[in-house]
């Protein structure tokens, strides 16, 4: 991760726009993440198929907020289990739409499917490379999204997705709910 990049980027953009203070996040090493968080965060796969395998069910997206500026889409989302709508991830993603096929771009702009599902279903080649892991205390925004109490210690990662040419397709922050939700 570039030292000038924020640990919670792009999620912090939504905080800044709303005037709400960004929660304090502390970078941690992958080996310091406790289970079951570690197995869900420390890998080079997309989060959607990882969660679908862990929960043995499909995951869908609830779009909380989005901003579209030219070819850049920024969205704040909650990923939910299909069977009971329980949250399994809260976060934000910055997607460079120019690197998507027209069909994939349309699905992403509709905001109903997680990017990982779109990429997998459309067979779009890409690489997933986590750049940092962190712990964060739930504030009112995170607590509401993940249905947990404020100040609860949670774990997440900052990840980048690359197209085969090496250009960044997406940057994402993914925060998991408390372990009891697993």
Domains in the chain, CATH or no CATH each: 11-181 (3.40.1410.10)
Three-state helix/strand/coil letters over the chain: CCCCCCCCCCHHHHHHHHCCCCCCEEEECHHHCCCCHHHHHCCCCCHHHHHHHHHCCCEEEEEEEEEEECCEEEEEEEEEECCCCCEEEEEEEEEEHHHCCHHHHHHHHHCCCCHHHHHHHCCCCCEEEEEEEEEEECCHHHHHHHCCCCCCEEEEEEEEEECCCCCEEEEEEEECCCHHHC
pLDDT in tens, 33-68: 999 999 999 999 889 999 999 999 999 999 999 999
Instruction: Say yes or no to pLDDT of 1 above 60.
Output: no
Instruction: Using DSSP bridges, classify how beta strands 127-137 and 153-162 pair: parallel, antiparallel or unpaired.
Output: antiparallel
pLDDT in tens, 94-124: 999 999 999 999 999 999 899 999 999 999 9
Sign of CA dihedral 135, 137, 138, 140: negative
d(CA 77, CA 26): 22
Q: Mean pLDDT in the chain?
A: 93
Q: Which of 61, 67, 128 is nearest to 88 (CA)?
A: 61
79 — pLDDT class (breaks 50, 70, 90) = very high
pLDDT in tens, 123-178: 999 999 999 999 999 999 999 999 999 999 999 999 999 999 999 999 999 999 99
């Amino acid at each position: 991760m570039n030292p000038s990049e924020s640990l919670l980027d792009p999620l912090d953009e939504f905080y800044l726009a709303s005037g709400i203070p960004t929660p304090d996040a502390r970078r941690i090493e992958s080996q310091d993440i406790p289970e079951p968080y570690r197995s869900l965060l420390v890998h080079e796969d997309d989060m959607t198929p990882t969660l679908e395998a862990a929960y043995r069910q499909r995951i869908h997206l609830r779009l909380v907020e989005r901003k579209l500026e030219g070819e850049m889409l920024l969205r704040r989302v909650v990923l939910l289990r299909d069977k009971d709508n329980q949250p399994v991830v809260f976060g934000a993603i910055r997607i460079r739409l120019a690197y998507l096929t027209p069909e994939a771009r349309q699905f992403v702009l509709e905001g109903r499917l997680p990017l990982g599902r779109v990429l997998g279903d459309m067979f779009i080649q890409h690489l997933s490379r986590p750049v940092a892991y962190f712990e964060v205390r739930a504030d009112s925004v995170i607590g509401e999204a993940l249905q947990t109490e404020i100040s609860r210690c949670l774990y997440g990662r900052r990840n980048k997705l690359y197209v085969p040419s090496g250009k960044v397709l997406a940057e994402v922050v993914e925060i998991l709910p408390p372990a009891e939700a697993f």
